[in-house]
Homo-oligomer: A and B are copies of this chain.
Amino acid sequence: MIVHVGEMHLFRLPEGDDLLQALVAHCRGAGIEAAWVHAIGAVRAPVIGAYDFATGRYRRVALEGDWELLSLSGNVSLAEGHDGPFAHLHVLLGDHEGGVRGGHLFAAEVRVAEVGLLALRGGAPQRVPQANGLLLWPLAGEEGG
């Protein structure tokens, strides 16, 4: 889907907020249904995961303490049967010795989060449940009118 580049939102999320929920709330408040988002900062007690195609379920990993938020990359779009903006985000996290962990973001308490959210206008992809349980965008040829 080809969409228009709107404005850039540069903002810091409050300490203590959940990173994922706060990003979605920002989009909801700003009337954003599609975006590409990046962030850096630091988080506490992140819960990350990886989708296991063999079992059709996410494996979750809960990390303790503070982590640098080295990369957050992902998108905001719509999803069938879901009210409002839906965020899909992947993160890379750094410990205090330079070691790195990462995964699909389930939850993380904001320590510092500087966000660059590129609002996209003129349409939003809509996720559709797949046979394997994932909520995915239609492929190019499958998009509805």
Contacts and interface: CB of A to CB of B under 8 A. Distances in A.
A136 B112 contact: yes
Please state the number of chain copies in the assembly: 3
A99 B2 CA distance: 34
A52 B42 CA distance: 10
Interface residues of A, number: 64
Given A68-B102, A71-B71, A116 B36 contact: yes
Given A3-B10, A10-B3, A12-B136, A68 B120 contact: no
Interface of A: 1-12, 14, 34, 36, 38, 40, 42, 48, 50-53, 59, 61, 63, 66, 68-71, 73-75, 77, 88-92, 94-104, 111-112, 114, 116, 118, 120, 125, 134, 136-140
